[in-house]
Amino acid sequence: MRYLNLTLAFCALSLTHCTSLSLEECSSSDWYTLGLADGNRGATATRLNQYQKDCNEFNLKVDACQWQQGYQQGLINYCLPENGYRVGLEGESYYGVCSDNQFVERYNQGHQQYLVNKRLAEIADRLHTIDSEISSINTKLNNLTDKADLLRQKNILLNEKNHLLDEKARLRQGNIEFKFRF
């Protein structure tokens, strides 16, 4: 039953990161499970303050002790070094909740790879656009007598394409070094 509550709380919270708690949520929440879900996501401890503020509007109290216990357990799960890499690789934000330097190192490694992957995707998109524009220009060139302006545009695009292909090759070699400090 506890796992079902955890799953439901995690699903609900992942969909409503920034929303307030309702009267029903304040009165029926399993505060341990809610804290566990927050810790598992790497949320800051200030989340508890928001819950207290939300529930205070209904004159209801948050079981801060239960939330704190769940939150600490969740942080144990979240702060594992291998999770740090996953969090960074997915491009998620890190809010400084882990005291383990290995988590931060692995997060930085994952985040570096995320940035490389993101840039590779941007390059692939731009290369596709350039190829489409070149194809369009080639079609126009076949139909026009005044080709000078179109040839100039084509050369500009070809130069940009070559630079992007070079950058793409360098990124795949992994010789680029990013540094992040928290």
Does one domain contain both 62 and 113? no
Above 80 in pLDDT, residue 1?
Answer: no
Say which amino acid occupies 126. R
Q: What is the pLDDT of residues 48-72, one digit of tens each?
A: 999 999 999 999 999 999 999 999 9
CA torsion through residues 15, 17, 20, 22, sign: positive
* Residues constituting the chain: 182
Among 115, 126, 132, CA closest to 162? 126
Q: Which of 26, 45, 78 is the last residue of a domain?
A: 78
In a domain, 46, yes or no: yes
Does one domain contain both 108 and 166? yes
Q: Which domain holds residue 8?
A: 2-78
Q: At residue 24, what are phi and psi to the nearest 5 degrees?
A: -65, -45
Rounded to two decimals, the pTM is 0.67
Asked if 140 and 150 touch (Cβ cutoff 8 Å), the reply is: yes
Distance CA 44, CA 39 (A): 8
Residue % of the chain over a pLDDT of 70: 84
Does one domain contain both 6 and 69? yes
Q: Which of 78, 111, 136 is the last residue of a domain?
A: 78
